Amino acid sequence: MTIPQNLRYTKEHEWISVDGDVATVGITAFAAEALGDVVFVELPEAGSEVSAGTPCGEIESTKSVSEIYAPVDGEVTEVNQAVIDTPESVNSDPYEQGWLFKVRVESMPELMDAAAYTALTQEG
Amino acid sequence: MKTPLHDVHSGLGASFTDFAGWDMPVRYSSELAEHRAVREASGLFDLSHMGEIELAGPQAADALDYALSGKLSAVAVGRARYTMMCNERGGVVDDLVVYRLADDRYLVVANAGNAAEVSAELVRRAEGFDTTVTDRSSETALIAVQGPTSAAIVGAVSDADLSALKYYASVPTTVGGREVLLARTGYTGEDGFELFVAADDAEAVWRVLTEAGEGHGLVPCGLACRDTLRLEAGMPLYGNELSADGSPFAANLGRVVRFDKEGDFVGRAALEDRPEPETVLVGLTGGGRRAPRHGYRVLQGDDEVGEITSGALSPTLGHPIAMAYVPVRCSEPGTTLSADIRGRLEPVEVVALPFYQRR
């Protein structure tokens, strides 16, 4: 299971990549594997405000559905239309093509680094 | 609990899930690819978690006629029957496939979660009949090959005449030198076979089938795709569509209750006295990609009228499908209802089952 070193992570198994004041959000390979084949993704609308720790979307596999949580406070600047059209990219490429949405960060809680997230995934 | 094939699954990189206390493969790689393989080629399943109970003796047939809803005495040797065990109230203890192996010998196959109860009930219900009841679950493995290429795969490794082996029939044969009971049954809506083998032979038979499947698109398949396959085929799952409080009639399975057989059977009085069911099982289809799931509410207008029993985005059809219990007045195909999908009402239409039928 790949856990890129350069990303930050939440306990909801999302990854965050920060570039300036914009955070790109996705779900981890660990979460994608647990969900199974992703068949539907519902994302917050561009321009909407999200707040850290609250649900802002849904991700659905044939077997189960989970909420997507906003990892930071801020305004959604962009959603990944490609992942809505081809949700399987969440499974095949969770850290690149499978990104979900971008947020202009107003405030960011403390997030895990790769080592802390690796430990979380190994707790079972 | 682990099946005799657990190490094989681990070696294949399976993801596991708990199912009725069993550590079972949920998928090997992608459940959508596995689903597609069963529809277009074939899938290989480990179903060793299911229960196998043997009845043997001069009155085995009479005991089953009393214990179950069907007329098992009328089943020809070598044939099988889908049937049910009901409780005294007419509720469903389990849905079963019963194979007649000889005049005086039957094999009852029960769902994993109900196997212990079915076995104990058969012992109790067979008291007074001249038959033995033997739970063979732990010594028996069950492997299924399901899909349009399954006959070519099984035909390559067995001497059995498959052209003579009808749907819901079985024949003893050998595969890779191991004794198997080869049955043409399944839970996927495709042509397919189920092979009952000794637990010690399971790995050898699995490997022989895997090798024979090369060139026929055979892939190992987990329980995730088994569930979407059976849902598309409109087949009930115990715990979702069937329960100890539900009636076979409400589940549209009245045909398996044989009031015409002689003598009493457990549940007869309750089933005969039972009024027409107020709610019945229907198929629902929706648009978009958000699927109604087990436990979600079904509404007509503003009125809650029922509950989803199973639902998923159909991998074959590409739209949401579900089953639900709704009042008879809402059950006509073409009726528009709605499903409460996590707080948002989505329109669904009542359709005839099954959703998918092989050509």
Instruction: Give the pLDDT confidence of B115-128 residue by residue, as tens digits.
Output: 999 999 999 999 99
B150 and B113 belong to one structural domain: no
Q: Is residue B248 part of a domain?
A: no
Quick one: how far is CA A56 from the chain centroid?
A: 11
At which of B135, B160, B183 does a domain end?
B135
- Indicate the residue of A33, A39, A42 with minimum beta-carbon distance to B313: A39
- Chain B residues within 8 A of A39 when measuring between CB atoms: 32, 289, 313
Q: How far is B293 from chain A (nearest CA, A)?
A: 9
Main-chain dihedrals φ then ψ at residue B214, nearest 5 degrees: -65, 130
Q: How far is A124 from chain B (nearest CA, A)?
A: 13
- Measured CA to CA, the distance from residue A23 to residue A105 in angstroms comes to 7
Please give the pLDDT value at position A63: 85
What is the arithmetic mean of pLDDT over B153-173? 97
Q: How confident is the model at residue B275 (pLDDT cuts 50, 70, 90)?
A: confident
- Whether A107 and A48 have beta carbons less than 8 Å apart is answered as no
CATH number, residue B89: 3.30.70.1400
Residues 6+ apart with CB under 8 A from B43: B34, B37, B144, B145, B146, B147, B188, B218, B219, B220, B221, B225
Q: Is residue A25 part of a domain?
A: yes
Beta-strand ranges (E) seen in chain B are: 15-19, 22-27, 42-46, 51-56, 80-86, 92-102, 105-110, 132-135, 140-146, 170-175, 178-183, 192-198, 218-220, 279-286, 297-300, 303-313, 320-327, 336-341, 344-351
Please give the pLDDT value at position B50: 98
Quick one: how far is CA B241 from the chain centroid?
A: 12
Q: How far is A92 from chain B (nearest CA, A)?
A: 10
B193 lies in which domain range? 6-50+139-232
Please give the pLDDT value at position A124: 57
Asked if the peptide bond before residue B354 counts as cis, ω within 30 degrees of 0, the response is yes
Test B290 with A33 for CB contact under 8 angstroms.
no
Q: Is residue A32 part of a domain?
A: yes
B14 and B159 belong to one structural domain: yes
- Measured CA to CA, the distance from residue A22 to residue B183 in angstroms comes to 60
Q: Is residue B241 part of a domain?
A: no
Q: Which residue of B has its CA nearest to A91?
A: B30
Provide the domain count of chain B: 3
Q: Is residue A24 part of a domain?
A: yes
Provide the domain count of chain A: 1
Taking every pair of Cα atoms in chain A, the longest distance, rounded to a whole number of angstroms, is 37
Please give the pLDDT value at position B222: 98
At which of B135, B169, B200 does a domain end?
B135
CATH number, residue A36: 2.40.50.100
Residue-wise pLDDT tens digits, B7-45: 999 999 999 999 999 999 999 999 999 999 999 999 999
Q: Is residue A53 part of a domain?
A: yes
- The first and second tokens of residue B163, run together, are 């052209």
Q: What is the DSSP string of B114-149?
A: GHHHHHHHHHHHTTTSS-EEEE-TTTEEEEEEESTT
What was the ipTM of the complex prediction?
0.85
Q: Is residue B264 part of a domain?
A: no
Test B291 with A60 for CB contact under 8 angstroms.
yes
- Whether B136 and B54 have beta carbons less than 8 Å apart is answered as yes
Residues 6+ apart with CB under 8 A from B37: B43, B147, B217, B218, B219, B221
Please give the pLDDT value at position B321: 98
- Measured CA to CA, the distance from residue B31 to residue A49 in angstroms comes to 35
- Whether B298 and B338 have beta carbons less than 8 Å apart is answered as yes
The amino acid present at A96, given as its one-letter code, is: E
CA dihedral of B72, B73, B74, B76, whole degrees rounded to 10: 90
CATH number, residue B221: 3.30.1360.120
Test A36 with B227 for CB contact under 8 angstroms.
no
What is the arithmetic mean of pLDDT over B68-78? 98
Residue-wise pLDDT tens digits, B79-105: 999 999 999 999 999 999 999 999 999
- Measured CA to CA, the distance from residue B196 to residue B281 in angstroms comes to 32
Residue-wise pLDDT tens digits, A75-121: 999 999 999 999 999 999 999 999 999 999 999 999 999 999 999 99
Q: Is residue A46 part of a domain?
A: yes
What is the arithmetic mean of pLDDT over B221-247? 97
Q: Is residue B195 part of a domain?
A: yes
Test A62 with B224 for CB contact under 8 angstroms.
yes
B89 and B165 belong to one structural domain: no
Q: Is residue A2 part of a domain?
A: no
- Any CB–CB contact under 8 A between B237 and chain A? no
What is the arithmetic mean of pLDDT over B170-174? 98
β-pairing, B42-46 with B218-220? parallel
A108 lies in which domain range? 8-112
CATH number, residue B309: 2.40.30.110
At which of B135, B157, B176 does a domain end?
B135
Q: Which residue of B has its CA nearest to A32?
A: B30
pTM of the model: 0.94
Residues 6+ apart with CB under 8 A from B275: none
B44 and B56 belong to one structural domain: no
Mutate to test the interface with B, among A30, A33, A35, A37 (most CBs of B within 10 A): A37
B146 and B39 belong to one structural domain: yes
Average pLDDT, chain B: 97
- Measured CA to CA, the distance from residue B265 to residue B8 in angstroms comes to 42
Q: Is residue A37 part of a domain?
A: yes
Q: Is residue B27 part of a domain?
A: yes
B219 and B209 belong to one structural domain: yes
Quick one: how far is CA A10 from the chain centroid?
A: 9
Q: Is residue A121 part of a domain?
A: no
Q: How much of chain B, in percent, has pLDDT values that exceed 70?
A: 100
